[in-house]
Amino acid sequence: MTNNKNTLTGYYKESDEDLWLWDDIPELDMEVGYKVEALLHYERSPFQEISIVDTQGFGRMLVLDGTPQVTTKDGFIYNEMITHIAMTTHREPKRVGMIGGGDCGPSREALKYESVEQIDVVEIDQQVIEVCRRWMTKDSGDEREACIRMIYRDGYKWIQEQKNNLDVLLIDRSDPYGPATSLYKQQFYQYVYDSLTEDGIVVFQSGSPFYNTSILKNTVRSLSKLFPIVHPYVCSIPTFPGGIWSFVVASKKWDPLQADLTRLPCKDTKYIDPETFLASFVLPKYIKNILK
Ligand code: SAM
């Protein structure tokens, strides 16, 4: 363990000798508890508090400012669902950008497409990458990982320098506070549009459609002002509070609902296949009502 438990902030609490991580959901006035088997790493970077824990049930977990981000048990669901909808829909993605690095899972998913020449992963906090490399992921040994370029910068600044040069962009942003606040600004959506090629596609992580409805609503509304094709979609992620999670894909030309699903690298996925790809766009009525 890097730091003593005494330095931990409020979301780690001891109860009967056990350590628990409590994720605060202010929108529902509730907390979700994860039993911690081992606290492996804890530090404060200049941007946020980073910890790595072994949990009971979900395997190893990256936690930022008390919020679970990804686990070794179900991280494949998030990583596949943020990546493959856009990568499959675009006919030949060569240049890919990602804002928000974390354990870099989406960049490994994107490498499954032969056409990819370069992936820029833009992460504001280099420590998150270092910590994930040490505790969460092993080098896969895939020599195509040389296509991945790490850029340690604020994605809000980086995106302004990209003009008409990204085929696919994935916005793996954290919740709208701290360093990610700017990634929710109205102007950010325009910069994103300008960064994409004329048949470019972007996907945004857009929060819980159950208790974070304003994030989903605002993302759909902002993207619909710019892009001709905008679709929200959902999947179930057991670790995340409420289980159901949302994303929004926006495209200048190709419609995901008409994608050539033979392009999906199904041999190398654990969640997505042609059926789950299409089913993710089928929204329960309560979500359709939010978006009316
Ligand atoms: N899904 C990821 C994973 O698999 O680990 C979790 C990524 S987490 C949702 C979001 C990441 O975005 C964090 O690593 C955070 O440091 C980074 N981030 C937040 N604000 C950013 C910004 N303005 N520019 C670039 N990266 C940012």
Encode pLDDT of 102-121 as tens digits. Answer: 889 999 999 999 999 999 99
Same domain, 91 and 106: yes
Neighbouring CB atoms inside 10 A of 105's CB total: 21
Report the relative pairing of strands 196-205 and 244-251 from DSSP bridges: antiparallel
What's the whole-model pTM score?
A: 0.94
Query: Is 106 a domain residue?
Result: yes
Ligand 1 atom 5: residue of nearest CA? 102
Q: Which residue's CA is minimally distant from atom 3 of ligand 1?
A: 102
What's the CATH code of the domain at 191? 3.40.50.150
Q: Is residue 60 part of a domain?
A: yes
Element (H, E) at 205: strand 196-205
Which residues are annotated as catalytic?
A: 172
Task: Give the 3-state secondary structure of residue 269.
Answer: coil
Percent share of the chain, pLDDT over 90: 85
Domain total for the chain? 2
**If you average pLDDT over every residue of the chain, what do you get?**
93
Tell whether 61 and 100 lie within a shared domain.
no
Atom of ligand 1 nearest to the CA of 179: 20
103 labelled ligand-binding = yes
146 band by pLDDT with thresholds 50, 70 and 90:
confident
Task: Identify the residue whose tokens are 């995901």.
Answer: 256
Q: What gap in Å lies between CA 265 and CA 145, rounded to an integer?
A: 17
CA–centroid distance, residue 232 to ligand 1 (Å): 21
Residue 4 maps to a domain: no
Please indicate, yes or no, whether residues 114 and 15 belong to a single structural domain of this protein.
Answer: no
The pLDDT of residue 41 is 96
Q: Is the pLDDT of residue 6 over 70?
A: no
Residue 42: give its domain's CATH number: 2.30.140.10
Let me know if residue 1 belongs to a domain.
no
Ligand 1 atom 2, closest CA: 102
Which of 54, 69, 84 finishes a domain? 69
Is the residue at 204 inside a domain? yes
Whether 21 and 79 map to the same domain: the answer is: no
| Rounded distance between C-alpha atoms, residue 156 and residue 164, angstroms | 16
Binding site annotation covers 48? Answer: yes
| Structure confidence by residue, pLDDT tens digits, 21-46 | 999 998 889 999 999 999 999 999 99
The two tokens of residue 61 are 């977990």
Which residue bears the tokens 């916005």?
Answer: 171
Q: Does 2 fall in a domain?
A: no
The answer to whether residue 134 scores a pLDDT higher than 90 is yes
Cα–Cα distance, 187 to 266 (Å, whole number):
36
Ligand 1: atom nearest CA of 182 is: 23
Q: What is the DSSP letter of 183?
A: G
**The domain containing residue 285 runs over which residues?**
75-291
123 is in an annotated binding site: yes
Same domain, 94 and 171: yes
Same domain, 160 and 65: no
The answer to whether residue 137 is domain-embedded is: yes
Q: Is 3 inside any structural domain?
A: no
Determine which residue's CA is closest to atom 19 belonging to ligand 1: 180
Instruction: State which of 35, 69, 103 marks the end of a domain.
Output: 69
| Rounded-to-integer distance, Cα 103 and Cα 264, Å | 22
Same domain (yes/no): 200, 267:
yes
Same domain, 35 and 127: no
Same domain, 61 and 102: no
- Regarding whether 79 and 65 lie in a shared domain, the answer is no
For ligand 1, which residues put their CB under 6 angstroms from it? 62, 64, 69-70, 75, 78, 99-103, 105, 122-125, 128, 154-156, 172-174, 179-180, 182-183
For ligand 1, mutation pick of 48, 81, 123 (most atoms within 8 Å of CB): 123
Question: Average pLDDT of 165-189?
Answer: 94
What ipTM score was computed for the predicted complex, to two decimals?
0.94
Whether residue 105 sits in one domain with residue 65 = no
Atom of ligand 1 minimally distant from the CA of 183: 23
On the question of pLDDT at 11 being above 80, the answer is yes
- Which of ligand 1's atoms lies nearest the C-alpha of 106? 4
Q: Are strands 18-25 and 12-15 parallel, antiparallel or unpaired?
A: antiparallel
Phi, psi values for residue 38, rounded to 5°? -155, 135
Please identify, among 44, 69, 94, the residue that sits at the C-terminal boundary of a domain. 69
Residues 187 and 126 in one domain: yes
> Ligand 1 pocket: which of 65, 128, 185, 247 to mutate (most atoms <8 Å of CB)?
128
Quote the ligand 1 centre to 105 CA distance (angstroms): 12
